[in-house]
Structure formats: C-alpha cells, structure tokens
Amino acid sequence: MAAAGRLRRRVLLLAVPWRWRCSPRRGAAGCPPAGQVRAAFLRFFEERHGHRRLPSAPVRPRGDPRLLFVNAGMNQFKPIFLGTAHPRSELAQHRRVVNSQKCVRAGGKHNDLEDVGRDTYHHTFFEMLGNWSFGDYFKEEACSMAWELLTEVYEIPKDRLYVTYFAGDSSLGLSADEECRDVWLCLGVPASHVLPFPLKDNFWEMGDTGPCGPCTEIHYDHVGGGRNAAALVNQGSPDVVEIWNLVFMQYSREVEGNLLPLPQHHVDTGMGLERLVTVLQNKHSNYDTDLFTPILDAIHKGCGGPRYQGLVGDADVGHVNMAYRVVADHVRALCVCITDGIYPGFSGAELVLRRILRRAVRFCSEVLHAPPGLLASLVPTVVEVLIMDVINENEAAFQSSLERGRRIIERTVQQMEPSTYFPAEVAWSLYGNLGFPLDLIDLILEEKGISLDSAAFNELALEDAKQKAGGPPAGQLEDTNTCLDVHSLAQLRSSNVPATDDSPKYAYTLGQHGRYEFSPCQATVLILYRDQSLQKEVGAGQRCGVILDRTNFYAEQGGQASDQGYMIHLGQQDILFPVQSVRLCGGYVIHEVTAVETLRAGDQVQLFVDEAQRLACMANHTATHLLNFALRHVLGDNTEQRGSHVTAEWLRFDFNTTGPVTVEQLQQVEQVVQDVIKRNEVVHTAEVPLMLARRVQGLRAVDEGYPDPVRIVSLGVPVESVLTCNSEAAMQTSVELCCGTHLLQTGAMEDLAIISERQLVKGISRVIAVTGSQAKQAREAGQCLAMEVDSVSLRMKERSASIPEMQNLSKEVGQLTKAEEKAQSMLAKHCNQPVIIDTVPADSLSILMKVVNQLCDKSPGTSVLLLSPQASGEVLCACQVSKNCLPVFSAADWAVAVCTQMEGKAGGSPVVAKGSGNAKGMQRALTTALEFAQSKLLK
C-alpha cells in the first residue's frame, strides 16, 4: 500500500485540474462534437502532463511486413519497445508521447471486417487515442491521468465506470497485479467497481515473443441509474463496453515461453475515439454520433430508401440498417486508405481494400438498391467529417516552426534593452518565413509584457506591398546590395573566389502522396556585399548581399522570379536571416538578406527555400513552355516567343502574330495544354553541349546567349530521343533551352486558364494565364460574367427599348466586361491576400466599385480598397470589407481615412463605401489605407 499512500498525497497536492474549454452537459443538445473530444484528449496530455504530441502515422505500415495495416497506436513505437531504435534517432528520444492514430482492422490477426454492420460498435477504420511512457512514468501516473481526464475533464459520472486488473496466472508464476488494484482504490474507485480478470482479458502481448505485460481496462455502463453492472463487464453486453485499455509493459516473453522482467517499464494506452464520443454524446451506438450521422444522412439521400433506425439482429428486417452501417464504415476506411497510398488491388493490403470496396458496393446495390455511384458520392461527406485529420497534419507541420519561432523570440527578448519595443524585422521574419500569424506574435509578446514596434512593422508591410504591386517606382536605381558593380566583380575574380554552385536548386523529388520534397542546402559564406563594396562582416540590422559557395535558391533569370526563403547559422536554429530576393551576376549568386545579427565571411549556414512560392513558380514555368507549344500548334509554326515572365501568381507570354487572335483559337490553345496536363507527362531535363542542342528539330529558343553546356527541358519525350539524329520527336511536344525550375510531371499544374490577351504593338500579342486553383476561379468568374451578360441580353429582347435605354444597356455590358477583366487581373496579382490595396484605371466610380465587388466575390475573405487617378487630377476611391472582419473593420471609416489624406470626402456603409480626393495626396492615401487596415486586423 506504499504506492497508494504516495499517490494519495500527490492527489491532495494537485492544483486546480486542467479543464477542456467546452465542457459539455451530458445529455444536453450542447454535447461536444468529436473534433473537440479529440482535441481535448491531445491538449490534456500535452499541456497538463508534458507529453509530446505526434501526428498519426499513415495506415500503411512502415518497416513491418507482417502487418497489412497499422492496427494500433503502438505500431510506430515498436522499435522502442523492442529496443531496436537507434540511440541517436528521434524515436529513441521520446519519453512521453500522445497522439490520435488512424487504425484499420481488416485482415490479419486483428480482423473486424465480418463483424462490421452486425452490431453498433465494430469498425474497419477507427481512431485510437493514446498516451505513452517510454521508461518514464508507470502505473500510478497512468491510472491517475486516465481517471482525471475521464471524470474531471470529460465529466463522466464516476458511478458508471468500472476498472479491471490482471488476476494473475499460476501456470506462468504471475501473481495478481495488486499494485494496479491499489492505485484505483486510492483514486476513490469503489471496491465493487475494481474487478480482477484472467490472462485472456487483462494481459497484453505484442506477439508470440517480445514485450508484454498486465493491463487495466476502463469500462462504461450506458444504462447507469445507480445500478451495479459489475456482472456485465467483459461479458459482451452492448450496455457495458470497454473504452480505454492501459497496458503496463514490464515483461519480455522469450522464445522458450518464459517471462523475464524488462530493464525499463513502458506504458501503452489506447482509447477508441468512436466509443468515447458515443459516451460523451450520450448515445448507445457509435453510428449515432456526429462521426457517422452525416454519412448516414448522405446515404439516405443517395438511395432514397427508408432512413437509418439503428436496428440490429432480427429487428433489422431485410438488413437495411446493417447495410447503412457497412457502407458508412467502409467508405471511411476506403477514403483513409486511399489517402495514405493504399489502393484496391490483388494482393496484401490492396486485396483487403478491394474486398472492403466490393462489400460496400454489394450492400449499396443489393440491399439499399442505390443507383451506381453512391459510394463515390459519399466521399465529400467523409472528408468533411474527418477534416480534423488534415488539421492535425497541418498542426504537426507547423509545430517545428512554432518551436523555432519561440526560440527566436526568447533569444531576441534576452538581447533587448529594458523598456524597448520588439524589433519589427524579427517579427516580419517570423511572419514571412515561418508562417507565424500576426495575432500569435502579439499574443506571445503580450504574455511577456512586451510590445511590437508597430510603426516599423507597418513600414515593412507597406514596402512589401509596394514590391508585390509592381516593384520599385520608375527611375529608381537597382539595389546596390544585389547587383555587383564592375570593380567588385573584378576583385572577386582576381581573388579567385569561385562562382556559386547553384546546382542544388534542381535537387527536389516527388515524395509520398505526390508531394514535392525540397532538401535544405548547407553552404559557406564567401563574402558579403553592401553599398557597392565587398565586406568580410556586416552588423545586425543591415541589409546586404550574401555570396555563398553553393545555394539551392533560384536567382531571377530566364523570365522566372527569384526564390525567397531564409538561412540560419548551422546548428543555431533560433536566428533567421530572411532572403528577400536572389540575383545572378557574373556567375555569382547574390542573396539579399537583412542581417538579424552579425554575419561574417566563413560562417556556415543552412538554406531553406519558400517551398510554396517555388512550387507555384515551377508550375507556372512549365505551363509557359506548354503555352508556347500550344500557340505554335494552333496558330502555326511561324509563331515565335518574344518574351515571358513567370511569378508564383501568374505567367505572361509575348509572341508574334500575323493578325488578331480569336477567342476560339485561345480556347483551342487552352485545350491543348489541358490535354497534356491530364496525361501527366514526365518533364525530362538534361545538360548537353550547346552545339548539339541547336541541331534539335523543333527546338524553341529565344534570341539570347546561352551557356555551354545548356539545359534542355522536354515534356513527355526523353532528351536522348530528341537528340537522336534526324529525330522529329521535338516537333510533337515542347522542347526548349531553359535554366528554370520545372515540375517533374505536368499533372501538378491541374489546369490553365488564359485571363487576358491583347496586342502590345502591331504583330506582337501578350497573354496572361493562371494555373491550378486560380484557373478554376477564373473559369467560375467567366461563367458569372456570361450569366450577367445573358441577363442584359434578355432584357433587351423582352422589351422594345428606346435608343437611350439601349445605349444604357450597352454601356452596362461594357462596364461588366471591364470590371471583370480588371478584377481577374487584380486577383492574379494579389493571390490569397487578406487585404488588397492598389491603384487601377477606371472610367468611372461605378466601374471601380464593380471591380471591388468582383474581387470580393471571388475571394470572400478579402477586404479591398482601390484608387483610380483620373485625367482631371481627381482620384476615385472604392472599398469593401469582408464580413468576417465586421464590426471591428468598417468600410466607411476606411474610405474616410483614405480620402481625408487626399483632401476629399467619402461615405458608405460598414461593408461598402466610396469617395474621391486630390491626386497630390494619393501616395499618403495608399500608406494610410494599409496602416488603417493593419490597425483593425491586428487587434
């Protein structure tokens, strides 16, 4: 009883218990949704008991050929239990861990497939909530944590809970686990609710050999009402079910069958999310919870038969309710398995998944009499129900950035003088490079009693907005930190400083699930460049150019925008040097960096590219090659490129033409591109001698100097094939000389839409296009415009309008068209921005307002303010605020603040407003517009 005494004293010393933030009233309409139940479990162990939260492993097992699917939360930790984890691996460093693991039990030792549908609690796919201790805490703490979570956090009535423990086994020489029993009694569980059970119920083994040990299970009585349900525990009663199993690994079963004590004790617990949610939502069946009811409703809607009633056995006439359960369960399993890379097939896990699919189809067709396609139609509902998986994965992805950001903040605060503002440059780096939301930065600083230098931060934001809006103003000199002057270039060469090896920019691969993986690059600082001079050292806060021996950053060239990202000192994770732009000069790659602390020649650094921006550029650059090929295919072989520019948001392509390009021709061009995208052609690249490359028939190259050797990019045809003598392979696809970064397969482009085409000068046209989700938005916008034009046309047909009326209708069509074109161009320019502030030409305030309306319709979460200077010297202003930002952010107040800077007036509602002013104050007005928006959105 010594352990029980220690535990009793520890319980008395506990502080106010950790609570979940949406404590439910049992049986009320406000029962917690499954997402909150899961989140509360993870937060409890992470925040209250210092566990490390890990993401779920995929359901396809890694490194364990004996398993078809991951069927328990402990699968990914088996190397720790078996002692095979490398001592320097990340896995071996774990002490306390918590997660929610995706599990599939269909096939192999644990196979619930045949039981699914027959009752209300078996599943092929389920989520296992678990906490682990690897040589850290043991029985006292594990039981105490479990009891605290269930009774104090989830507020499950104690009288409905029963716990079991191992009763011992004389044949193995094992005595009863009285230590575990005493822990439960000490926690206040009545003796009548603490029950012993034999080996088959309360002793857990990983396999025929290996770690094993006694376990304690927690069971829940659905009926309650003060009755004693001890006799129903472990008897298969649907009213008394196991909800949590705590395994205490303290033995190892040897080949001879004997048990030896383990040198380290471990805890492995597992609680099915579906069963827990059933308890907390006061249901008797897992299928009555919000994890399944949306899917069951979708099945009913799709098949049109009787609704699901929860019937089982003989009461379920015709097995209709069983069919509902089978289909709902199986479509969840199919979605999760396919997402994790397991597809229906003919062996192993693939064969089992094929069986699950066919079983579901059989119940859909023969029992529910559903039309073909019902199963696939349920996928969106499953995605919606299981969206927390996506959130968990994103949370895990942000976790490392969060930890790094916290270290940066801690280090910066330690170096700050008392009573000073937190540096804006550091906050901007956290925001831009690590994806820290601004409100999170403010919150962390507020907790430390520190304020951000908001004025300096707003200046950085304004500068960034101006750069994105169109680069430096006309007449501004090139940046003196990224463009080497002739003397510095000569000095580098005379000092035998080697040119930068930028081959790592091509070092990326297609990983699991088709995701691109970009490897970081380690490099040495060779020299620094500032104010047109080479320097060995640059102090904190100074902007400079950094020349490295090697880099994975793409420097702006070949029409493709440069990479962005950051670098860190090797082994020093808490200081980021943001890389704003990258230039190539005389073979040297210059990274424009703001030094957060002193940077010196000889420093070892690690480089991290902004992967999202790079991938978007890659997609648009490959799309540019496809567009070049498609234009030539549709308009003729005489069509030649005259220029191009590729950014993460859009691509621009200039070409010669003998006449106007028709809408039909542009549609044909789009179709050619989309056909190649659908075929998911491989993008082949190789470096070859320039002389050999120029012999390729059908090669597309612009009139510029190329390096020797030169890089060939060929879509769908290996470079070796196009280089073959007299080969015409390049005539049937896109083959170009190009130094840019490209997709590895065309399918990642998803789509391409041409959003603009116009003649620059006679004989030269320019098209602007977007890819991916932006292309989809462009098509939807085009459809909306077509509907509006059709509406105007119908009004013209329905009445014999007078000439003035006809003129007004014609003008309205023109305004709609202009507004749509301008909105589409603005959307491409400011992709996924929460606030858009810009200038745009507009003939009238009504057109300007329509452009604003169109932008907000296409991007509902965005607030927009546009200014339009007129020939008369007047500036028009129109704005609209996202409803998500009300009431803090008012369009009327925004417009008044902006127009006041132009000595003008404005008015409107909280959502939309307009006004005008004088052109002399337009620059001040733009600055005010951004500052006003930030002051509201940062609150």
For the stretch 770-819, pLDDT in tens is 998 788 777 777 776 666 666 666 666 655 455 555 555 555 555 556 66
Question: pLDDT at position 355, please?
Answer: 83
Confidence at 173, pLDDT banded by 50, 70, 90: confident
438 pLDDT exceeds 80? no
Question: pLDDT at position 474, please?
Answer: 33
Residue/partner pairs of 539-542 with CB below 8 Å, 24 or more apart: 539/595, 539/598, 540/595, 540/596, 540/597, 540/598, 541/425, 541/594, 541/595, 541/596, 542/594, 542/595
Question: pLDDT at position 802, please?
Answer: 53
Residue of 401, 619, 618, 611 lying closest to 519 (CA atoms): 611
Question: pLDDT at position 575, please?
Answer: 79
Confidence at 163, pLDDT banded by 50, 70, 90: very high
Tokens of 591: 């990274």
Q: Answer yes or no: are the C-beta atoms of 707 and 525 closer than 8 Å.
A: no
Single-letter residue type at 708: D
How many Å apart are CA 80 and CA 73, to the nearest integer?
13
Highest-confidence segment of 269-278, 837-846, 888-897: 269-278
Confidence at 1, pLDDT banded by 50, 70, 90: very low
Instruction: Pick the range with the lowest mean pLDDT from 314-318, 523-527, 756-760.
Output: 756-760
How many Å apart are CA 91 and CA 87, to the nearest integer?
8
Taking residues 4-16, what's their average pLDDT? 32
Q: 264: alpha, beta or left, given left = phi > 0 and alpha = psi -120 to 50?
A: beta
684 pLDDT exceeds 90? yes
Highest-confidence segment of 305-314, 421-430, 594-603, 651-660: 305-314
24 pLDDT exceeds 50? no
Overall residue count recorded for the chain in this entry: 939
Decide: helix, strand or coil at residue 161.
strand
Decide: helix, strand or coil at residue 267.
strand
Taking residues 283-307, what's their average pLDDT? 93
> What tens digit of pLDDT does each residue of 203-212 get?
988 667 778 8
Taking residues 178-196, what's their average pLDDT? 96
368 pLDDT exceeds 90? yes
* Burial per residue of 370-391, b for 16 or more beta-carbon CB atoms within 10 angstroms, e otherwise: beeebbeebeebbeebbebbee
Decide: helix, strand or coil at residue 765.
strand
Which of residues 80 and 438 earns the better pLDDT score?
A: 80
Which of residues 233 and 785 earns the better pLDDT score?
A: 233
Report the share of the chain in percent with pLDDT over 90. Answer: 38
Instruction: Give the contacts of 774 (CB within 8 A, at least 6 positions apart).
Output: 649, 650, 753, 827, 828, 831
Taking residues 649-660, what's their average pLDDT? 87
Taking residues 619-644, what's their average pLDDT? 90
Taking residues 899-922, what's their average pLDDT? 89
478 pLDDT exceeds 50? no
| Dihedral sign from CA coordinates of 220, 224, 229, 235 | negative
Instruction: Pick the range with the lowest mean pLDDT from 50-54, 419-423, 577-581.
Output: 419-423
CA contacts within 13 A on the Cβ side of 143: 30
Question: pLDDT at position 327, please?
Answer: 94
> What tens digit of pLDDT does each residue of 815-836 get?
556 666 667 777 767 766 788 9
Instruction: Pick the range with the lowest mean pLDDT from 342-356, 491-505, 525-539, 909-923.
Output: 342-356
Question: pLDDT at position 808, please?
Answer: 56
Question: pLDDT at position 341, please?
Answer: 82
Helices (H), 513-636: 611-635
How many Å apart are CA 757 and CA 764, to the nearest integer?
11
How many Å apart are CA 483 and CA 491, to the nearest integer?
14
Taking residues 507-511, what's their average pLDDT? 87
Tokens of 18: 């950790």
Q: Answer yes or no: are the C-beta atoms of 572 and 606 closer than 8 Å.
A: no
- Concatenating the DSSP letter of every residue in 383-407 gives HHHTHHHHHHHHHHHHHHHHHHHHH
> What tens digit of pLDDT does each residue of 805-818 get?
555 555 555 555 66
Per the listing, tokens 């010297």 go with 873
Single-letter residue type at 812: E
The DSSP 8-state label assigned to residue 666 in this structure reads H
Mean pLDDT for the chain overall: 83
State which H helix or E strand residue 665 sits in. Answer: helix 663-679
Question: pLDDT at position 439, please?
Answer: 64
The DSSP 8-state label assigned to residue 466 in this structure reads H
Question: pLDDT at position 146, please?
Answer: 97
Tokens of 646: 């590729």
How many Å apart are CA 851 and CA 869, to the nearest integer?
15
Taking residues 254-271, what's their average pLDDT? 86
Confidence at 873, pLDDT banded by 50, 70, 90: confident
Taking residues 379-395, what's their average pLDDT? 65
Q: Answer yes or no: are the C-beta atoms of 668 and 700 closer than 8 Å.
A: no
Report the share of the chain in percent with pLDDT over 70. Answer: 84
Question: pLDDT at position 269, please?
Answer: 96
Tokens of 356: 């699950």
Taking residues 836-853, what's their average pLDDT? 85
Question: pLDDT at position 281, please?
Answer: 95
8 pLDDT exceeds 60? no
Question: pLDDT at position 457, please?
Answer: 79
464 pLDDT exceeds 60? yes
Instruction: Pick the range with the lowest mean pLDDT from 387-391, 624-628, 796-800, 922-926.
Output: 387-391
> What tens digit of pLDDT does each residue of 106-129 get?
876 556 787 898 888 889 999 999
Taking residues 331-336, what's their average pLDDT? 92
Please, is 84 exposed, middle or buried when counting C-beta atoms within 10 Å of its C-beta (0-12, 13-18, 19+)? exposed
How many Å apart are CA 197 and CA 849, to the nearest integer?
74
